[in-house]
Amino acid sequence: MKATTTIIIDTRKPLKNGKSPVKLRITYNRKQRYYPADLSLTADEFDMVRGKNPKADFKKLKLKLDALEQKANKIIDELAVFDFGIFKKKLYNDQQVRDDVYAYFEKMIITYTEKGNLGTASNYNCSLNSFMDFKGHKKKKNDNDSKGIKPKLPFLEITVEFLEKYEKWLLDAGKSVTTVSIYVRSLRSVINHALADGSLSKDYNFPFGSKNKYKYQITTGKNIKKALTLAEIKLFFDYIPEVGSWEEKALNYWIFSYLANGMNMKDVVNLRYKDIDGEYIKFIRAKTRNTNNVITPISIFQSIEIKNIINKWGNPDTNKENLIFPILNLEDSPIKQRAVLQQFIKMVNKYMGIIAKKVGIDKPCTTYYARHSFSTVLKRSGANVQFISEALGHSSINTTKAYLDSFEDETKKEMSKALTAFN
């Protein structure tokens, strides 16, 4: 069975200006998928475009849609076995993406969403909206052009002057230096990807670099220290919450994160029983799981405190494929799982804040504090910086892999003891 193509106007969700998006519909094996044609029209305009002899601008739009459908059919013919995912990637690797920063942002958002990296996709989406707002395109997205053609931001417009004006615009609007850094880093990543896949010519004048070379240097803010002292951490270990309360749950998960190499809460809730290997928990961070780099699993010695928390809050069904902690439902969509995770972190942070006030700690003590405190305490105990890098699963782990292999399990046991050396 061969996939078929059709250009349609999707009137199910009309835009505020009364127009509806035009889409390419692909039908295969009784399944249908819709792909944006980067065009919105009224029903009458669509009839004019798809008519036999469209005039003026309608003729240009017809040629554009015909070209899209021809490309789709060519892709279908080239695929030995049709696959919607592969089709989408080939469809959007076109000249529009090559010319337009916005389109490349959208391409990357789709890619990260399909991989399940919803946090990264969200960051790119926020950055995209910010750049569109800066250019005055966000507000005009639905009514900017009488024919519904979406605004574009050419790559060649991204210059040092553009970036300096954008930074000033954000700061004048009251945004933090950290926000500027996040958004601009996303843009730099988009440009690097475009250069890597050939969408941008190697002659492109890359605007990022050092100021002394007349390039734009990404400003970084001074990080607020989010680590607790060992004395402060001891206050949490000594605190006795009501059994079965949210205070107890929040405290236990926070302590688990702290003792388990400062494990990110997303990784905590995604741990499976198959990750338990004897006395150790060995896992790969969700953040690096889908990269092309060679990743070394993080190894954590199971202290008595870690075992007790697993026994108390863990799933009683210890099938290897089951999640250790029953927070997420694996049958839910990635979007639903992310929402559940965010709500869980919110609750942990809320009750850790309550406990912190009760024990006299004037800090929010969020889950970030657990991770930062882990690395700080180990550093103060004399642990090797490269060992801490391995324990945290930083991206630099590949460059120190040969050295890190020399850390034996007994050393990890001793290091884990330092986390509760209160006396």
Sorted by where each starts, the structural domains of the chain and their CATH numbers stand as: 1-92 (no CATH), 96-222 (1.10.150), 230-418 (1.10.443.10)
304: CB partners within 8 A, 6+ apart = none
CA distance readout (Å), 29 to 3, 23, 89, 114, 193 = 8, 19, 20, 21, 34
Q: Which two tokens stand for residue 31?
A: 């399944």
List residues bridging with 280 in a β-sheet: 277, 301
CA atoms within 13 A on the CB side of 304: 2
**What pLDDT is attached to residue 390?**
63
CA 203 to chain centre: 30
Separation between Cα atoms, residue 39 and residue 49, nearest integer Å: 12
User: Considering the entire predicted model, what is its pTM?
Assistant: 0.61
**What pLDDT is attached to residue 97?**
54
**What pLDDT is attached to residue 144?**
45
End-to-end alpha-carbon separation of the chain, Å? Answer: 72
Which long-range contacts (C-beta less than 8 Å, at least 24 apart) are formed by 278-287?
279/409, 280/409, 280/412, 281/306, 284/393, 285/393, 287/393
| Mean model confidence pLDDT for the chain | 84
How many CB atoms sit inside 10 A of residue 304's CB?
Answer: 9
Burial class (CB in 10 A: 0-12, 13-18, 19+), 267: buried
Separation between Cα atoms, residue 67 and residue 51, nearest integer Å: 16
Separation between Cα atoms, residue 121 and residue 99, nearest integer Å: 21
**What pLDDT is attached to residue 406?**
36
Sign of CA dihedral 213, 218, 224, 230: negative
Stretch (H or E) spanning 296: none
**What pLDDT is attached to residue 142?**
47
Q: Which two tokens stand for residue 421?
A: 């050396």
Block means of pLDDT (10 residues each) for the chain, length 423 residues?
91 85 93 89 91 86 90 89 84 64 89 80 93 82 51 91 96 92 94 82 87 87 72 95 96 96 92 94 77 70 95 95 95 89 96 96 92 81 65 49 37 70 74
The proportion of the chain whose per-residue pLDDT surpasses 70, expressed as a percent, equals 84
Separation between Cα atoms, residue 228 and residue 363, nearest integer Å: 9
Q: Which residue has the tokens 């799981």?
A: 289
CA 135 to chain centre: 24
**What pLDDT is attached to residue 12?**
86
**What pLDDT is attached to residue 145?**
45
CA 401 to chain centre: 26
DSSP string, 47-111: HHHTSSS--HHHHHHHHHHHHHHHHHHHHHHH-SS--HHHHHHHHHSSHHHHHBHHHHHHHHHHH
Burial class (CB in 10 A: 0-12, 13-18, 19+), 12: exposed
Angle CA 265–126–160, to nearest 5: 120
Which long-range contacts (C-beta less than 8 Å, at least 24 apart) are formed by 335-340?
335/118, 338/118, 338/119
CA distance readout (Å), 66 to 61, 69, 217 = 9, 5, 43
